[in-house]
Amino acid sequence: MTISEIFNKMEWGTAPENDKNAKAWLKENKNKFGHFINGNFVDAKNHFKTKNPANNQFLANIAVGSKADVNLAVKSASNAQKKWAKTGGHARSRYLYAIARLIQKHSRLFAVLETIDNGKPIRESRDIDIPLAIRHFYYHAGAAQLMEDNLPNHEAVGICGQIIPWNFPLLMLSWKIAPAIAMGNTVILKPAEYTSLTALLFAQICIEAGIPKGVINIVTGDGTTGSLIVNHKSINKIAFTGSTEVGRKIRFETSGTGKSLTLELGGKSPYLVFDDADIDSAIEGLVDSIWFNQGQVCCAGSRLLVHETIANQFYKKLKLRMKRLRVGDPLDKSIDMGAIVDPKQLSLISKLVNKNAHEGNLYQPNIEMPNKGCYYPPTLITEMEPSASLMQEEIFGPVLVSTTFRTPKEAIALANNSRYGLAASIWTENINLALDIAPKIECGVVWINSVNQFDAAAGFGGRRESGFGREGGAEGLLTYVKPKTKTAELKKQKKYKKSITKSNSLGSLDKTLKLYIGGKQVRPDSGYSKAIFGPKGFITHIGEGNRKDIRNAVEAAHKAGSWGKTSGHLKAQILYYLAENLDKRSLEFIDSIILSTGAKKEIARKEVETSISRLFYYAAWADKFDGAVHDVPIRGVTLAMNEPLGVVGVICPEENPLLGLISLAAPLIAMGNTCVLIPSVSSPNIAANFYQVLETSDVPAGVLNIITGEEEAFVKTLSEHHDIAAIWYFGAGNNSGEIERFSTASLKRTWVNNNKTRNWHSNGQGKEFLNNATDVKNIWIPYGE
Ligand code: NDP
């Protein structure tokens, strides 16, 4: 071949990585592994084979975790937890640091092992997966050290069950284990069936690092083993990354158990290219987005949305680039795409594409493909209808689907036309446009003129059916701690006389209190009202709301959505004004509280005073709980924005009818949410008095909607409602489990009391409320030419 021919073809040679050391390590271990429990490897009865998807070669026999294995691991984690938490942040920090150093020392072995087990290009495992995993342990070594400074009065959740997928095996392990053990938890982690090897090498690193026995346990196995972990009674928290389908199952199984839960699930993330974008960069970005890890990435930019005016030119260039992609041996350092993780996944991708490709125009470049192993070509399907199944379903392979948009408004509507909400990538040279659009996309991460940027200092996670909770950053730590508080079983309030007699009737005036929806007092749809009694007898009638009233209230709350964009300053002014107006009517509220609860005057006065102070407290926070700029290792900034959740359903405590309501409504409103609120079931009249205060306080119509009635009538409707983003429950009934269970379909965020008491005076305000009232969105903004 002549030099000019070489220049014309620009062909790459091969640059194979040697897998000798990885194979030797497997051999050292006799190609067979047990579980890592209580600091030792424990053999198991049954094993399954793990293979290299690039060539179908056998790698090792991996233990199948049985019930007895899971029990043993939980016992060991349980024995170790208190001591580990007590050992203190500095000691834990040293252990995390030791792990980071040791992974660093063996980084190449980890990278090669990951590649032969998973099929991902060595370039990616060597330069992305392993360095990020190391970074995670370093970052969380610091988090452990600083725990007392940053999270005073917080403690570990306890024993954590962690279940991870196969697409980033060691990286997902580090995302789970590092924050958990940094905060003093102990863990039982189950790697995915296809990719257990780096977790087992990691277990050996734990021995070398001298991690105390039982702090980290690794039980391998399939979904059945995962399910045993999820359903183990002694586990306090489940952290799961994987498919939305399994995530939903886990939501259902953990509901009512009191286990805390974080879910990082699927996605169909939009990749928006505007007409002023740097097209070459945007195309290169796509290579790193949808063809990175063969598209087996939950946040892959799998939905390409292109400005109509540049679409033809863009697709032309993109196809040209696709023709240059190299698919081949993952150990070859010069390939772009490696192997799909398993023949099963390959067949899933092929079937989905074959069945639905007719929905658009399919393009697969005529490139050289390996004739053996699990490979799928880079694929582009254009001219898709937004509702087409391939535009909506997660394919989890190297398949990009696309449509066009005409205006930024249309781009946002298309981007949000998904049941998922994980990530988005925005390409434009107009930073004003990018920063205008980023907050309008319903997701947890936005990359501006970039893709797939990750760092331990920035949180990652989604909304909607992409799950809830964050991993990484300060927000990720919050999912592994709980406030140190004493609680007890919550008892129902005393019930007062249930009939109206001449002697307890308080007069003949029409005292029926209505519902408050969209800024107006409305009669309940049911046409029913209910008598409310206090210790001295009948107080008033209240309207009995039903499903229709909830629907109307949700609609009104959505119409008031612009509240979320109102400045913190204005929200603060309105909350101060609300406090002022409540203050003016404080005597009336004191009397009402006495009348309905029988409280002593001093107690009632204290409740009103604390309520006023609480409104001031959240007015103060309204313009101060404002996110962060993270120090991530890119030339640029990462903005962590605290965003409102949207419409939130709130079931208030029965006790402290005024203070309970304000303690929940105020942080939500201060953070820009709108609410559908069910007040204390035994003293709803206080809330009815409160909406008269609302009417005089400039709170826009629909921001706070109040529906009175029986709690049981609302639990299911609120939890199942698909237009409600989250639900808070501090009610009197034992409905926490029902709320979680009914929320399974919509996967909404829940915050429930698990039938435990809360002292609303001493423990009814703080960042816990603000964190629960917001979702963090991380927006990555690189700069420089
Ligand atoms: P799964 O969600 O099934 O697996 C994720 C993890 O959960 C694995 O460790 C798995 O075990 C385990 N698991 C499976 N069933 C249960 C259960 N009932 N209870 C507890 N744990 C369970 O993903 P798959 O690997 O099967 O992939 C299927 C699809 O999921 C993909 O095609 C893709 O669309 C999506 N996916 C999404 C990911 C994401 O990050 N968003 C990651 C991986 C997959 P096992 O080892 O047996 O699989």
Question: Is the minimum distance from the CB of 475 to ligand 1 under 6 angstroms?
Answer: no
d(CA 431, CA 636): 13
Residues forming beta bridges with residue 756, ordered by sequence position: 489
Catalytic center residues: 264, 298
Question: Is the minimum distance from the CB of 202 to ligand 1 under 6 angstroms?
Answer: no
Q: How far is the CA of 225 from the centre of ligand 1 (A)?
A: 12
Please choose from 49, 50, 163, 341 the residue to mutate so as to test ligand 1's pocket, defined by most ligand atoms within 8 A of CB: 163
pLDDT digits (tens, 9 = 90+) for 121-144: 999 999 999 999 999 999 999 999
Does the pLDDT of residue 693 top 50, yes or no? Answer: yes
Q: How far is the CA of 103 from the centre of ligand 1 (A)?
A: 26
Block residue for tokens 């309030």: 493
Ligand 1 atom 28: residue of nearest CA = 243
Closest CA to 160 of 200, 244, 219: 219
Question: Is the minimum distance from the CB of 243 to ligand 1 under 6 angstroms?
Answer: yes
Does the pLDDT of residue 273 top 80, yes or no? Answer: yes
Instruction: Take residue 678 and report the two structure tokens written for it.
Output: 């069910």
Closest CA to 281 of 136, 432, 451, 464: 451
Which region among 256-260, 497-501, 706-710 has the lowest average model confidence (pLDDT)?
A: 497-501
Which region among 26-30, 335-339, 683-687, 749-753 has the lowest average model confidence (pLDDT)?
A: 683-687
Does the pLDDT of residue 508 top 50, yes or no? Answer: no
Does the pLDDT of residue 720 top 90, yes or no? Answer: yes
Give the pLDDT score at 421.
97
Does the pLDDT of residue 505 top 60, yes or no? Answer: no
Question: Is the minimum distance from the CB of 266 to ligand 1 under 6 angstroms?
Answer: yes
* Beta pairing, strands 270-273 & 216-218: unpaired
Does the pLDDT of residue 721 top 50, yes or no? Answer: yes
Give the pLDDT score at 95.
98
Does the pLDDT of residue 536 top 90, yes or no? Answer: no
Per-residue pLDDT band at 88 (split at 50, 70, 90):
very high
Per-residue pLDDT band at 9 (split at 50, 70, 90):
confident
Question: Is the minimum distance from the CB of 189 to ligand 1 under 6 angstroms?
Answer: no
Question: Is the minimum distance from the CB of 242 to ligand 1 under 6 angstroms?
Answer: yes
Does the pLDDT of residue 530 top 50, yes or no? Answer: yes
**What's the average model confidence in pLDDT over 15-26?**
96
Q: How far is the CA of 265 from the centre of ligand 1 (A)?
A: 9
* 533 neighbors 496 (Cβ within 8 angstroms): yes
Question: Is the minimum distance from the CB of 719 to ligand 1 under 6 angstroms?
Answer: no
pLDDT digits (tens, 9 = 90+) for 441-461: 999 999 999 999 999 999 999
Please choose from 243, 261, 262, 395 the residue to mutate so as to test ligand 1's pocket, defined by most ligand atoms within 8 A of CB: 243
Question: Is the minimum distance from the CB of 394 to ligand 1 under 6 angstroms?
Answer: yes
Mark 5-15 as b/e (b = at least 16 C-beta within 10 Å). eeeeeeeeeee
Give the pLDDT score at 386.
95
Question: Element (H or E) spanning 410, and its range?
Answer: helix 408-415
Q: How far is the CA of 250 from the centre of ligand 1 (A)?
A: 11
Does the pLDDT of residue 713 top 90, yes or no? Answer: no
How many percent of the chain have pLDDT more than 90?
Answer: 90
Question: Is the minimum distance from the CB of 228 to ligand 1 under 6 angstroms?
Answer: no
Give the pLDDT score at 512.
75
pTM: 0.96
Block residue for tokens 């703080």: 766
Q: How far is the CA of 733 from the centre of ligand 1 (A)?
A: 35
Chain center to CA of 159:
20
Q: How far is the CA of 190 from the centre of ligand 1 (A)?
A: 11
Ligand 1 atom 9: residue of nearest CA = 192
Ligand 1 atom 32: residue of nearest CA = 396
Q: How far is the CA of 556 from the centre of ligand 1 (A)?
A: 38
Residues forming beta bridges with residue 264, ordered by sequence position: 241, 467
pLDDT digits (tens, 9 = 90+) for 62-76: 999 999 999 999 999
Q: Ligand 1: which atom is nearest the Cα of residue 265?
A: 41
Amino acid sitting at position 723: D
- DSSP conformation letters of 347-386: HHHHHHHHHHGGGSEEE-------SSSS----EEEES--T
Give the pLDDT score at 489.
87
Ligand 1 atom 38: residue of nearest CA = 242
Cα distances (Å, whole numbers) of residue 785 to 432, 434, 635: 17, 16, 11
pLDDT digits (tens, 9 = 90+) for 607-637: 999 999 999 999 999 999 999 999 898 899 9
Q: Ligand 1: which atom is nearest the Cα of residue 395?
A: 34
Does the pLDDT of residue 510 top 60, yes or no? Answer: no
How many percent of the chain have pLDDT more than 70?
Answer: 98
Question: Is the minimum distance from the CB of 348 to ligand 1 under 6 angstroms?
Answer: yes
Q: How far is the CA of 278 from the centre of ligand 1 (A)?
A: 36
* 66 neighbors 46 (Cβ within 8 angstroms): yes
Give the pLDDT score at 587.
97
Give the pLDDT score at 509.
52
Q: Which stretches of 464-546 are DSSP H helices?
A: 473-478
**What's the average model confidence in pLDDT over 762-774?**
97
* Beta pairing, strands 40-42 & 35-37: antiparallel
Give the pLDDT score at 503.
54
pLDDT digits (tens, 9 = 90+) for 336-382: 999 999 999 999 999 999 999 999 999 999 999 999 999 999 999 99
Question: Is the minimum distance from the CB of 251 to ligand 1 under 6 angstroms?
Answer: no
Question: Is the minimum distance from the CB of 263 to ligand 1 under 6 angstroms?
Answer: no
Per-residue pLDDT band at 501 (split at 50, 70, 90):
low
Give the pLDDT score at 3.
82
Instruction: Tell me what the pLDDT averaged over the chain comes to.
Output: 95
